[in-house]
Structure 1
Amino acid sequence: MQSEPTTYQHIRIEHEENLSWIVLARPDRANALSADMLEELSDALERLRFTGGPVLAIRGEGKGFSGGYDITEVGVPKSADPVGDRERLQRNVDRFMAIWDHPKPVIAAVHGYCVAGATQLCVFTDITILAEDARIGEPTVPIGGGYIAPLWAPLVGPKRAKELSFVPGNWIDAETAVRWGWANHMVPVADLQSQVRGLAARIALTPPDVLRVKKLSINRAMDAMGARQVANSVAEMDALLHLSPSVLAVREQVREQGFRSVKEGYHVPPTSDLSQHERHSQRKC
């Protein structure tokens, strides 16, 4: 095992024979993506370009992968500054684009909750493996928009991306995420890390330079279909919506009543119950 010269506060690097893990390590805060954590993630990705194992994998410590952006730091604009807001939001996406552009294959290993900005991170990984308990979802309180679901569209299609986005707090389970094409495989919770290790071992049989070009060529195909253009436009949509009267009203409500109280008012069942009803009807027939 290699030693990691840099000590981080909010993530951890673990080297194994065929892969290096980046572990999101703020379990007491649901691995919320704070400014410091995102800085450490960017630094780790850069350091691991030419060091560590031939494959990278990202997982979360504790009960889930990540609850998304830390709304006390990253998730809200500080003032009515659309230009600064757009730059802040684009910087978040650019951090995840570094996964897309990384020379090594990157696997997301997701268990438990994976919400909002955390789903952006997974979209830009090369392969996503889900534990059976994974729940992939949108923010519950509509204080932004046009920032997350558009990045899903190349994977799941526009209709499913809209379904996910239109309902506050909408989410899908692991089985649905695989069926939709958002993830590659679903495995038992206890087997998640071992399955990722096994996959990494098989990937590592391909020489690193061949892997690099294979990844680059597929990414270029996606770029030709507009994936990168989408990633470079979502920040503008979200910054625009942050200044809309309805969003400003919700933010004021949050300030007055507290986030948890406002969140309860938007709590509705996910739209997956429609598919469950359909499957139940088919079984009866």
Structure 2
Amino acid sequence: MTEPLARYELPAPGVARIVLDRADKHNAINPQMIFDVNTAFDKALADDTVKVIILAADGRNFSAGHDIADTVENYQADMQERSPRLSTWSGFEEPATHGWYASEKEGYLESAKRWRNISKPTICAVQGKCIAGALIFAWVCDIIIAAEDAKFSDPVMTFGMPAVEWLGHPWELGPRKAKEFLFTSDMWDANEAHRLGMVNHVVPRSDLEDFTLAMAQKVASKPSFALKIAKEAVNKTLDIQGQMNAIDQAFTLHHLCHTQNFRLFGWGMDPTSVPGLAKVPEKPE
């Protein structure tokens, strides 16, 4: 049996901690990790003694993002195998645009929605690199605590894509800084993220775990039902402002880019700017 890539812990009364457990690969996100994290969130949700959930990671880096170091095809095949267990979509076996859309919709978009709306406060602790798909893990949490060494980037425009599958950028950074973040693919440090309001606190790396747990314990001291209602009220405010509709629409545009890349390269991303990412297929006639 494959070992889980997300560890579940109960570090204090009222607090559950989910830990990305793939430090040897810089916690690169593969389909197993996504669904292991989802299982851990479900476990925390079902436990009435848990009032707050921490999402953290082992090792030097929070996460290097989606693990496409092997091939995107293998990644998508694994996602397509795992996704139908929860999804209402079909067509996972179709190899090109339909299959990509179905598997990414469930594995990225719908999982992120579930985590964002889970009826308990969530706190993400970020150290080191938090790249591309890893931003989704952080952004769906209610509070983000960053270590001083944390760095954030979404470089997927280099692959011929507009952004990761969860376009939280305008909400997290503001529209102009979101465009800069995407257009340049630059990596921004924790202090810049804090200045823009993307993270709540920046602390020394050595204090990250203790600071995050102390905040979780403070939150857990509040009445459980009130916490759930407060979270729902804030999320509904964002929904009324259009956040979720905007993210849904951006996901379809993300797949317009996949389709364009299939048309140009016979593959879902533009591989010409990323040496070693994949062999460039012959352009279809």
TM-score range, shorter chain: 0.7 to 0.9
Aligned to 2:16: 20
Q: Which residue type is aligned with residue 148 of structure 2?
A: E
Q: Which residue type is aligned with residue 258 of structure 1?
A: G
SS in 1 for 2:119: coil
TM-score in terms of structure 2 length: 0.81
Correspondence list, 1:152-191, <5 A? 152-167=169-184, 169-191=185-207
CA distance in 1, matches of 2:247, 2:270: 25
CA distance in 2, matches of 1:189, 1:214: 30
Q: How many residues align?
A: 255
Tell me if the contact between 1:175 and 1:186 (Cα under 8 Å) persists in the aligned partners: yes
Aligned to 2:283: none
CA distance in 1, matches of 2:229, 2:24: 39
Aligned to 2:101: 86
Larger deviation, residues 10-19 vs 20-29: 10-19
Question: 1:242–1:260: structure 2 CA closer, same or farther, 3 Å change rule?
Answer: closer
Q: Tell me if 1:57 matches 2:57.
A: no
Correspondence list, 1:131-150, <5 A? 131-139=147-155, 141-147=158-164, 150=167
Tell me if the contact between 1:152 and 1:182 (Cα under 8 Å) persists in the aligned partners: no
Q: Which residue type is aligned with residue 38 of structure 2?
A: S
Which structure 2 residue ranges, 5 or more long, are not aligned? 78-93, 281-285
Deviations 1:72-104 (A, max 9, x none): 466976786323322222221211211211111
Larger deviation, residues 70-79 vs 10-19: 70-79
Aligned to 2:276: 258
Question: 1:112–1:31: structure 2 CA closer, same or farther, 3 Å change rule?
Answer: same
Which structure 1 residue ranges, 5 or more long, are not aligned? 1-6, 263-285
Question: 1:43–1:73: structure 2 CA closer, same or farther, 3 Å change rule?
Answer: farther
1:145 deviates by 1.8
Aligned to 2:226: 210
Q: Tell me if 1:68 matches 2:65.
A: yes
CA distance in 1, matches of 2:216, 2:254: 36
CA distance in 2, matches of 1:247, 1:113: 32
CA distance in 2, matches of 1:161, 1:214: 27
Correspondence for 2:41 among 36, 42, 45? 45
SS in 2 for 1:239: helix
Deviations 1:45-87 (A, max 9, x none): 1111031531100111111100111124669767863233222
Q: Which residue type is aligned with residue 63 of structure 1?
A: R
CA distance in 2, matches of 1:152, 1:251: 22
Q: Which residue type is aligned with residue 265 of structure 2?
A: L
TM-score in terms of structure 1 length: 0.81
CA distance in 1, matches of 2:169, 2:271: 29
CA distance in 1, matches of 2:277, 2:164: 20
Question: 1:252–1:161: structure 2 CA closer, same or farther, 3 Å change rule?
Answer: closer
Tell me if the contact between 1:177 and 1:183 (Cα under 8 Å) persists in the aligned partners: yes
CA distance in 2, matches of 1:218, 1:247: 42
The Cα RMSD (Å) is 2.7
Q: Which residue type is aligned with residue 62 of structure 2?
A: F
- Percent identity over the alignment? 27
Question: 1:223–1:192: structure 2 CA closer, same or farther, 3 Å change rule?
Answer: same
CA distance in 1, matches of 2:95, 2:123: 37
Q: Which residue type is aligned with residue 104 of structure 2?
A: L
Correspondence list, 1:204-243, <5 A? 204-243=220-259
